[in-house]
Amino acid sequence: MHRWRSWLQGWALWRTPRPSRILILAVNAMAVAVGCVTVILVPVSIGQDDLIRFGVLAGCAWAATELTRHVEQRRAVAHAPAVAHIDSAAVWVMATTIVLPPVLALAMVILTNVLLWDRVKRRRTPPYRAVYTTATILLGTSLAIMILSTGLGTYPGLPATAVEFGVIALAATLAWAVNFGLIVAAIATHNPTTSARDLFSDLSGQILEAGAAALGVLVAITIMTTPVAMPAVLVVIAALHRASLVTGLEKAASIDAKTGLATAARWHHHAEQLLVRAQDAGTGIGLLMVDLDHFKKINDTHGHLFGDQVLRAVADELRGEVRELDACGRWGGEEFTVVVADIDSDQSLQRIAERIRLRIQAIILDAPSTETADPVTITASIGGVHHIPDTSTTVDDLVAAADAALYEAKRERNVSRVYPTTPPPQQQPTAQARERTDTPPQ
């Protein structure tokens, strides 16, 4: 007894913030209660065929976990900590929810999550998180069971009409919403400073979850009509996982890790696309170079970790002002780039530059806890160019012109300078003359 008590007291759950701990315990208890109520309200007897099908699906779930284990481990490591991680357990959960009795569907939820935790997430996921995730899926699955038992002519069983397929789609959507909503709530209560943008930054990744649910419907049809074809499902799942890993790695390579903005290469590609569009339409395009003033001094005084915090704060302000995807990029070090399409004049671009400058100027960050210094404020110098491009104009031309304007702004600090077309030739700087306080690009 003493051993169990010591183990419970040492559980990582008790070290979580109180709101998060209350939510976790409440959801866990609710999952048990709702699961029991669901089994009682939807009484379906379990036949021998049901047990055989459950065994086949469970075996496939185990095989799929083993086949995709290394891919899932890499995805689990790569995903942002403030984003709900996605896996393909929904394939087997959805299939059992449609064609097997409720108690077996709920058992499949537990089985698949135990497999995933044991084979994929054990090293990185505390047990209480795995239990909580399982509880959220149990709640979503219980809701789906209630909907299917009401909306399908034969439950459990395959849909016979388009309306019944719609019922399945509704059940899958609501089950996902319950799971995703509770996971996001747990992340938000565990770290209240997490922004809504970060919490919902990877909604496009939920396409994988939707695809898994759709594949689950096909698995349900297969297990009921042609069970010998189940190995083909494993091949499809393995291929989809590898494709999702490649996509994730490509995305990670194009996003700057410190700021979440586009890397210089991705931003340059996006700017080229906007430039071609401006050339075809005969419209103006604007380009801004943003350089933080005295950033090296901030790094030297407060450390590079605090410098990274400054970069993230500036990136947030850039995104707040220029919301188009990939329009803002980290050029290197403490320099950022912004491209603005369909802008009519240099005066309009100047107003955008000033709003960005004032946003950055308004940033106030507390110095590291070991410091007794006053809060840290930030300023930036901004150079820009507005241009109506012809076919000979390149992004590098615009970058060079904006960089020259930035050189003029850096002479005064905390100002913005925007030129129409290009700055006068005599204002083009040399590498030695710029004398910035840049750190080397990272």
Q: Tell me which H or E stretch contains 288.
A: strand 285-292
Q: How many domains does the chain have?
A: 2
Contacts of 180 (CB under 8 A, 6+ apart): 84, 206
Residue 331 lies in a domain: yes
36 and 152 inside one domain: yes
248 and 271 inside one domain: no
- The per-residue pLDDT for 3 is 57
Instruction: Point out the domain boundary residue: 253, 285, 309.
Output: 253
C-alpha to C-alpha distances, 265 to 48, 70, 268, 271, 272, nearest whole angstrom: 59, 29, 5, 10, 11
Residue 89 lies in a domain: yes
271 and 213 inside one domain: no
269 and 239 inside one domain: no
**Exposure string for 25-46, b = 16+ CB within 10 A, e = fewer:** eebbebbeebbeebbeebebee
208 and 276 inside one domain: no
φ, ψ for residue 359, nearest 5 deg: -60, -45
CA nearest to 143, candidates 45, 30, 54: 30
- How long, in residues, is the chain? 442
What is the chain's alpha carbon radius of gyration, rounded to the nearest angstrom? 27
224 and 86 inside one domain: yes
The Cβ of residue 174 has, within 10 Å, a number of other Cβ atoms equal to 15
229 and 151 inside one domain: yes
C-alpha to C-alpha distances, 280 to 207, 277, 390, 394, nearest whole angstrom: 34, 5, 9, 14
CATH code (residue 335): 3.30.70.270
Distance, CA of 5 to chain centre = 38
Q: Which domain holds residue 110?
A: 2-253
pLDDT by residue, tens only, the chain of 442 residues: 555 555 455 467 777 788 888 999 999 999 999 999 999 999 888 999 999 999 999 998 898 888 777 656 555 544 444 444 445 688 899 999 999 999 999 999 999 989 888 877 776 678 888 899 999 999 999 999 999 999 998 899 999 899 999 999 999 999 989 988 998 888 888 777 666 666 665 555 566 677 778 888 999 999 999 888 888 888 877 777 665 555 555 555 678 878 888 888 889 988 999 999 999 888 999 999 999 998 988 888 888 888 888 998 898 888 888 866 558 888 888 999 999 988 888 899 999 999 999 999 999 888 776 555 678 889 999 999 999 888 888 999 999 999 999 998 998 888 999 988 754 443 444 333 444 444 433 4
- The per-residue pLDDT for 182 is 92
138 and 114 inside one domain: yes
Task: Return the percent helix, strand and coil in the chain, to nearest 5.
Answer: 65, 10, 25
Residue 439 lies in a domain: no
Contacts of 344 (CB under 8 A, 6+ apart): 283, 284
- The per-residue pLDDT for 90 is 84
pTM for the model stands at: 0.59
Q: Tell me which H or E stretch contains 291.
A: strand 285-292
CA nearest to 343, candidates 312, 328, 322, 359: 322
308 and 220 inside one domain: no
Residue 259 lies in a domain: no
41 and 151 inside one domain: yes
- The per-residue pLDDT for 97 is 95
Residue 258 lies in a domain: no
